[in-house]
């Protein structure tokens, strides 16, 4: 482990890229969505990282909005059959969800670190 490092770039951009929110260089993920135990460059412990279901919910809402709109537009504009619309929309849903889920999770974890977010405790109440 080395000395604490000041971020050289935005922690949020680093999170979108799947990099350490502190140094912007180390890997944030150990696999596709599994968070690494610590940064391999600066040693930041990722024990604080708990994005929960937040990224999945945001991605479902965003992708659902666009794909349902696309399905309705294809039906109204071109009168495609239901199997044809499903043949376009269903693969698009999978591609968008798989493509956006990792950056969204990295962004949520970086936002947690940047804002020093932690779980509330009853003794912290006024």
In a domain, 89, yes or no: yes
89: pLDDT strictly greater than 70 = yes
In a domain, 34, yes or no: yes
How many domains, in total, are found in the chain? 1
pTM equals: 0.84
In a domain, 4, yes or no: no
* pLDDT confidence of residue 17: 94
Q: How far apart are CA 31 and CA 74, in angstroms?
A: 36
Host domain of residue 71: 11-117
Residue pair 71/89 in contact (Cβ under 8 Å)? The answer is: yes
Compute and round to an integer the Cα radius of gyration of the chain.
19
In a domain, 100, yes or no: yes
CB atoms within 10 A of CB 101: 18
1: pLDDT strictly greater than 80 = no
In a domain, 5, yes or no: no
In a domain, 68, yes or no: yes
Q: pLDDT, tens digit, for every residue of 18-60?
A: 999 999 999 999 999 999 999 999 999 999 888 889 999 999 9
- Tell which residue, 107, 95, 100, 114, has the closest CA to residue 18: 107
Q: pLDDT, tens digit, for every residue of 4-14?
A: 555 556 888 99
């Amino acid at each position: 482990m080395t000395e604490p490092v000041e971020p050289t770039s935005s922690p949020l951009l680093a999170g979108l890229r799947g990099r350490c929110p502190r140094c912007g260089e180390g890997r944030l993920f150990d696999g596709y969505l599994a968070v690494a135990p610590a940064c391999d460059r600066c040693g930041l412990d990722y024990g604080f990282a708990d994005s929960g279901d937040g990224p999945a919910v945001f991605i479902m809402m965003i992708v659902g909005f666009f794909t349902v709109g696309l399905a309705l537009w294809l039906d109204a504009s071109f009168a495609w059959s239901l199997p044809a619309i499903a043949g376009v929309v269903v693969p698009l849903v999978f591609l968008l969800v798989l493509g956006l889920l990792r950056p969204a999770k990295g962004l949520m974890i970086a936002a947690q670190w940047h804002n020093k977010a932690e779980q509330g405790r009853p003794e912290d109440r006024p």
